[in-house]
């Protein structure tokens, strides 16, 4: 008997016209695993999260979560099953407080009742270091705190799989280090994480497995140093001097980063 992965994509294909997001792509993530995804701008990384979260439909293939086929169920139902995601461009309700944003996430996203949603919101605040900002309107938060709120909102839905989309983009080195600690803490609770990030050093500080999306397929998949040393990965990870980024010359290995590229 084989053990079913937490998340499994089987032969998934997705195209936007000529743009290939996934081409017969198969990929599995185990419970509690932390996997990093890099790739050039526009490779389809965010779209891949859309396929997993249910915001986008696959053209072909199957997605399973905890052994259950979820290919045709919507994002709200997938969230309740335990798939939480952040968005590359944070999407809080700006006129609501931080705490209210988390209550909405816990109730609407996580399907929690009132008492449980308060507990989930408080825990998400503590996990992400936002307790001091609980009563601030979300629109008053700075970039780091908005990134934390995005993470907290995903956490409040009580995921067993957390999808992080460039939460470190645009942050200073100390802020990135704080974020890395938060992600470590989340994973220490047993939550599996898939983290898309151009800030390679943030990824390698946390992930045990790395892969690179390009042309609808994963190029390299395995131990992070080996994947970053892979010639094919270097070739597709355009404009990127991975060695310099890892050596400390720059934290940001992305050619241009992609902060706000979807806005």
Query: In the beta sheet, which residues pair with residue 112?
Result: none
Contacts of 217 (CB under 8 A, 6+ apart): 22, 23, 24, 25
Q: Which does 101 bind (CB under 5 to 8 A by kind): ligand ATP, Mg ion, none?
A: none
Sign of the dihedral through C-alpha 82, 182, 41, 245 = negative
The CB-of-37 to ligand ATP minimum distance in angstroms stands at 9
Contacts of 188 (CB under 8 A, 6+ apart): none
Listed in sequence order, the DSSP H helices in 130-221 are 143-156, 173-188, 200-204
CB 24 within 8 A of CB 13: yes
The CB-of-211 to ligand ATP minimum distance in angstroms stands at 13
C-beta of 44 vs 110, nearer to ligand ATP:
44
The CB-of-48 to ligand ATP minimum distance in angstroms stands at 7
Backbone angles phi, psi at 78, to 5 degrees: -65, -35
The CB-of-29 to ligand ATP minimum distance in angstroms stands at 18
Beta-carbon count within 10 A of 179 CB: 25
Site string for Mg ion, 131-170 (x = CB under 5 A): ----------------------------------------
Out of 46, 133, 158, 204, point to the residue binding Mg ion (CB under 5 A): 46
Rounded Cα–Cα distance for residues 38 and 189 (Å): 24
Residues that bind ligand ATP (CB under 6 A): 16, 19, 39, 41-47, 88, 258, 261-262
Q: Does 86 bind Mg ion (CB under 5 A)?
A: no
CA end-to-end span of the chain: 46
C-beta of 48 vs 104, nearer to ligand ATP:
48
C-beta of 155 vs 167, nearer to Mg ion:
167
The CB-of-88 to Mg ion minimum distance in angstroms stands at 5
Q: Which stretch binds Mg ion (CB under 5 A): 30-38, 40-48, 57-65, 219-227?
A: 40-48
Q: Which does 109 bind (CB under 5 to 8 A by kind): ligand ATP, Mg ion, none?
A: none
Q: Which stretch binds Mg ion (CB under 5 A): 59-67, 84-92, 156-164, 222-230?
A: 84-92
Rounded Cα–Cα distance for residues 190 and 179 (Å): 17
Closest CA to 169 of 193, 188, 146, 141: 146
C-beta of 14 vs 45, nearer to Mg ion:
45
Which residues of this protein are in contact with Mg ion, per CB under 5 A? Answer: 45-46, 88
């Amino acid at each position: 008997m084989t053990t079913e992965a937490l998340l499994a994509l089987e032969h998934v294909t997705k195209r936007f016209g000529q743009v290939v997001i996934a081409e017969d792509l198969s990929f599995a993530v185990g419970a509690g695993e932390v996997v990093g995804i890099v790739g050039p701008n526009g490779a389809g990384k965010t779209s891949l999260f859309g396929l997993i979260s249910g915001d986008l439909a696959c053209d072909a293939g199957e997605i399973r979560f905890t052994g259950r086929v979820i290919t045709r169920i919507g994002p709200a139902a997938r969230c309740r099953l335990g798939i939480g995601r952040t968005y590359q461009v944070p999407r809080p309700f700006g006129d609501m407080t931080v705490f209210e944003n988390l209550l909405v996430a816990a109730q609407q996203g996580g399907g929690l009742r009132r008492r449980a949603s308060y507990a989930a919101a408080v825990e998400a605040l503590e996990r992400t270091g936002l307790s001091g900002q609980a009563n601030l309107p979300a629109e008053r938060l700075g970039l780091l705190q908005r990134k934390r709120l995005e993470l907290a909102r995903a956490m409040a839905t009580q995921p067993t799989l957390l999808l992080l989309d460039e939460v470190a983009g645009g942050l200073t080195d100390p802020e990135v280090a704080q974020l890395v600690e938060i992600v470590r803490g989340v994973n220490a609770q047993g939550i599996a994480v898939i983290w898309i990030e151009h800030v390679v050093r943030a990824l390698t500080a946390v992930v045990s497995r790395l892969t690179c999306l390009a042309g609808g397929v994963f190029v390299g998949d395995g131990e992070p140093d080996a994947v970053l040393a892979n010639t094919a990965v270097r070739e597709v990870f355009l404009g990127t001097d991975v060695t310099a980024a890892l050596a400390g010359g720059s934290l940001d290995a992305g050619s241009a980063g992609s902060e706000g590229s979807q806005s």
